[in-house]
Amino acid sequence: MTNFDELAEEWFSKALNMKPGQMLSVPAYTVSRARNTRKTLITIQNSYLKVHAVEASKIIITDIFEEDGKWFVGLQRVTPQMQSYLTDEDGDIISVKIDPDRKRTIINMLRDGYKLEHIERVLKLTEDERRIFFF
């Protein structure tokens, strides 16, 4: 890994700790350097997606942009979409929600040895969650 890659990884890591709506503008000085920085950041994000998909998907890598004669690549923290819409065979639209943090919490509680009764009391499990995790 080059120093350049290490810097890009540090910037990506900083972006993961930002609040939703914040944007980090990574300086690149020249257009070609900005393009290379963006490419490197995309590669880093793809690596993170394999291990921490939910966290990595919270970062949007912008196109390069110029401001006051300097070139930048933006890393913007967003709240990932957790709701989609399903159109059934009758044409009715149904809201479908996911909560990866809740799933991760259930998995961690199971790994930590908590019993079904405790998890159910604390999290108020849905029928789907009971079926997926316990039956």
Distances in Å between the Cα of 82 and the Cα atoms of 1, 54, 92 are 34, 10, 20
**High-pLDDT (> 70) share of the chain, %:** 95
pLDDT digits (tens, 9 = 90+) for 18-41: 998 899 999 998 999 999 999 999
In the prediction, which pLDDT does 83 show?
72
Q: Which residues contact 83 (CB under 8 A, 6 or more apart)?
A: 95, 96, 97, 98
Which residue would you say has higher pLDDT here, 134 or 61?
A: 61
According to the model, what pLDDT value does residue 4 have?
A: 66
Query: For residue range 76-128, what is the model confidence (pLDDT) as tens digits?
Result: 998 766 678 889 899 989 888 777 778 888 999 999 999 988 998 898 888 88
